[in-house]
Amino acid sequence: MTDTPYTPFDIVFVVGGTHGNERTGVTLVQHWLQNPADVQRQTFTTRLLLGNPEAIRKNVRFIDRDLNRSFLPQHVDGETAEAYESGRAREIAATLQSDRPGKRTFAIDLHTTTAKMGITLITNTDSVNLAIAADAQKRLPGARIYCFADSDRINSCLRAAADGGLGVEIGPIPQGVVRHDTLETTYGVVQEILNTLESFNEGNFAPPDPHLPVYLHDRHMLYPGVPSGAPPVFIHREIEGRDYRPLAPGHPIFHDLNGQVVCYEGVDTTYPVFINEAAYYYENIAFSLTRKMPLASLFASG
Ligand SMILES: [Zn+2]
């Protein structure tokens, strides 16, 4: 971990509806726009933002392309520059950076999942983001930290446009609906992240426990290719809903209605997440594989 003193954040953006059919964040942002004192703190200004208004209006994930994969220069200015979400990414990046230089911004991006992910805090390997995730987790029993190494995938997401940020994933909940329990859980998660940022800004902040377990993204598991005329396969009953539980080599992961089973062929035990996530069907992704490791080992190789 870094020994550099932590630099406070000046503006915290709470973002809902980056995916237009994830209504929990949309509903909370709409609530807080009417009740802004709920999300204000002494040491920073909180701003509220709806990520993808057109997708929210249609209750769909996106219009032309995934907004949360649209923040790299090649998306904003490249061949996809005409996409609705590329325009939105330009606007959001400008908003997140409008008070620079001299102001540090942090983005809390609110998502939901159809997978049984519980409370998940998503971050890159930036030591400040990890420290904030670790501190927030102490306030959120059962929450897990899902971490992505530096890559186009993580650098193309909305919160990468701010100086710091966390993604919040809560599930399971179907797409396109609001439920009281998910709403209340997400409400509490945002409050605790804001409380963490307040402590961080006040310097009342301990470095994270180096032994804290984190789940490092490894790769996606695609649905197996099915020859034309063969029956379709789907997630095996034995891993359905078992996000973050160990999956050993040889364990069943897919089957079909004829009883044909496909087993996991990796060499090491993995920890699958986003199992049977509805939003990933169009990309043929069945789930993602992670490696569970102590926080300190993320930095072991420098
Ligand atoms: Zn989402």
Residue 71 maps to a domain: yes
Which residues, other chains included, contact 78 with Cβ-Cβ below 8 Å and sequence gap of 6+?
A: none
Q: Does residue 243 sit in the same domain as residue 98? A: no
Q: What is the predicted pLDDT for the residue at 227?
A: 67
Tokens standing for 118? 């519980």
Name the residue among 259, 247, 258 with its Cα closest to residue 291.
247
Q: Does residue 79 sit in the same domain as residue 195? A: yes
Residue 5 maps to a domain: no
Q: 164 alpha carbon to ligand 1 midpoint, in Å?
A: 18
Q: What is the predicted pLDDT for the residue at 301?
A: 53
Distance between CA atoms of residues 244 and 199, nearest Å = 29
The answer to whether residues 172 and 240 touch, using CB atoms and an 8 Å cutoff, is: no
Domain boundary among 170, 202, 234: 202
Enclosing domain of residue 257: 218-290
- E strand residue ranges, the chain: 11-16, 45-50, 105-112, 118-124, 144-148, 164-171, 213-222, 234-235, 252-255, 261-263, 271-273, 285-294
Residue 3 maps to a domain: no
Q: Does residue 100 sit in the same domain as residue 233? A: no
Domain boundary among 145, 167, 202: 202
Number of domains into which the chain is organized: 2
Name the residue among 259, 239, 143 with its Cα closest to residue 196.
143
Q: 115 alpha carbon to ligand 1 midpoint, in Å?
A: 12
Q: 113 alpha carbon to ligand 1 midpoint, in Å?
A: 7
ω before 101 within 30° of 0 (cis)?
Answer: yes
Q: What is the predicted pLDDT for the residue at 99?
A: 62
223: helix, strand or coil: coil
Q: 199 alpha carbon to ligand 1 midpoint, in Å?
A: 27
Q: Does residue 227 sit in the same domain as residue 195? A: no
CATH number at residue 16: 3.40.630.10
Residue 196 maps to a domain: yes
Q: Does residue 50 sit in the same domain as residue 179? A: yes
pTM: 0.95
Residue 2 maps to a domain: no
Residue 301 maps to a domain: no
Q: 24 alpha carbon to ligand 1 midpoint, in Å?
A: 10
Residue 295 maps to a domain: no
Q: Does residue 162 sit in the same domain as residue 187? A: yes
Q: 111 alpha carbon to ligand 1 midpoint, in Å?
A: 4
Q: Does residue 125 sit in the same domain as residue 260? A: no
Which residues is 110 bridged to in the sheet?
A: 168
Q: Tokens 């971990």, residue? A: 1
Q: 19 alpha carbon to ligand 1 midpoint, in Å?
A: 5
Q: 267 alpha carbon to ligand 1 midpoint, in Å?
A: 30
Name the residue among 59, 79, 52 with its Cα closest to residue 158.
52
Q: Does residue 107 sit in the same domain as residue 20? A: yes
Q: Does residue 198 sit in the same domain as residue 233? A: no
CA 45 vs CA 35, 37, 190, 277: distances in Å: 14, 11, 14, 34
The answer to whether residues 100 and 188 touch, using CB atoms and an 8 Å cutoff, is: no
Cβ count near 178 (within 10 Å): 14
Distance between CA atoms of residues 267 and 249, nearest Å = 6
Q: Does residue 177 sit in the same domain as residue 231? A: no
Q: 66 alpha carbon to ligand 1 midpoint, in Å?
A: 9
Residue 299 maps to a domain: no
Q: Tokens 């059919």, residue? A: 21
Cβ count near 89 (within 10 Å): 27
Q: What is the predicted pLDDT for the residue at 302?
A: 46
Q: What is the predicted pLDDT for the residue at 102?
A: 79
Q: 18 alpha carbon to ligand 1 midpoint, in Å?
A: 7
Q: With 0-12 CB in 10 A as exposed, 13-18 as middle and 19+ as buried, what is 141?
A: exposed
Q: 16 alpha carbon to ligand 1 midpoint, in Å?
A: 9
Q: Does residue 169 sit in the same domain as residue 285? A: no
Q: 211 alpha carbon to ligand 1 midpoint, in Å?
A: 29
Q: Does residue 68 sit in the same domain as residue 136? A: yes
pLDDT along the chain (302 residues), means of 10: 71 98 98 98 97 98 96 85 94 83 92 98 96 96 95 92 96 98 98 98 91 97 80 93 98 94 96 98 96 91 50
Domain boundary among 167, 202, 237: 202
Q: What is the predicted pLDDT for the residue at 36?
A: 97
Count Cβ neighbours within 10 Å for each residue of 39-52 and write b for 16 or more, e otherwise.
beeeebebbbbbbb
Q: 194 alpha carbon to ligand 1 midpoint, in Å?
A: 20
